[in-house]
Copies of this chain bind each other. A is one copy, B any other.
């Protein structure tokens, strides 16, 4: 397959704030390699302690994504495989913040209480790509500490179908604001195609984040992200799935958090059953003992939980999606 390489760097007014409801910014084909520049969740407007997000940002201009990309030959009922080849911070710094009535340890517009919001505050992190470190500086004392750099894409998805256009803050069957560290280089994401061309878009990079993204905001960065796509014809995918060299992973997006857990595990049980030939209850049993359940976010409109299992803990599994993960991994490793 001849591969093309497409580079896309959005102008400020090209940034998108929904999945769905937008015209494509470029066309790509199975096997193409796509280099996408993404802005951070604040549109790059929060650069120091004085840039309080609620003052410098304006709703709904938050969490911009680059795209959408029209993937040729992708039609409803297909699956789009997106392999993340690299996620590179575009600047030597990242930012995080508290944000009024947003996050897991504060009341919110949904978990509404009569209490005033927490103080809004900005943290600026140093990113040292060579050392693979991101440096936290306390704001109220002199403490600082290095954390491992672990760049990821927070928001990636396709158009949701059903004539809908969803805010990029949201995660659902179409992907979106999944906010899991698993979306790092080396991972393949599977998304069910809902509209012609799939309409892939991505953004919201994090230099790293904790599980659950407790304060509502990761170490937010602009990125240059390289990915390869392939359309898997005639194979539908309901909820977002991931594959790494080691694991297969299903993602559930819902409130309350146990429903996100249920969705992810229901899907992983079905996937395990399909790959191994185990009957449903045997697969349920095996995942119950062998599964991991990393939490993605507990702050966005839909929380995310992952259900993951090592492929080596499955009895004689067949290749997922006909081996596309391995193929795309080779594609991006090949000579460009």
Residues of A with Cβ closer than 8 Å to B? 17-18, 20-21, 59-60, 96, 98, 103-107, 109-119, 121, 123, 134, 136, 138-141, 143-145, 147, 161-167, 208-219, 252, 254-259, 261-263, 265-267, 269, 276-282, 284-295, 298, 303, 305, 313-316
Contacts and interface: CB of A to CB of B under 8 A. Distances in A.
A281 to B, nearest CB: 6
21 contacts: A21-B163, A21-B165, A60-B162, A104-B261, A115-B115, A136-B286, A138-B279, A138-B286, A139-B285, A143-B276, A143-B315, A143-B316, A145-B286, A163-B167, A209-B288, A210-B290, A211-B293, A212-B261, A214-B291, A293-B298, A295-B295
Given A161-B60, A164-B165, A265-B105, A110 B292 contact: no
Given A110-B263, A115-B115, A164-B18, A303 B59 contact: no
Contacts of A109: 263
A101 to B, nearest CB: 10
Interface of A: prevailing SS: loop
A291 B210 contact: yes
Contact of A293 (B255, B258, B276, B295): B295
B289 A218 contact: yes
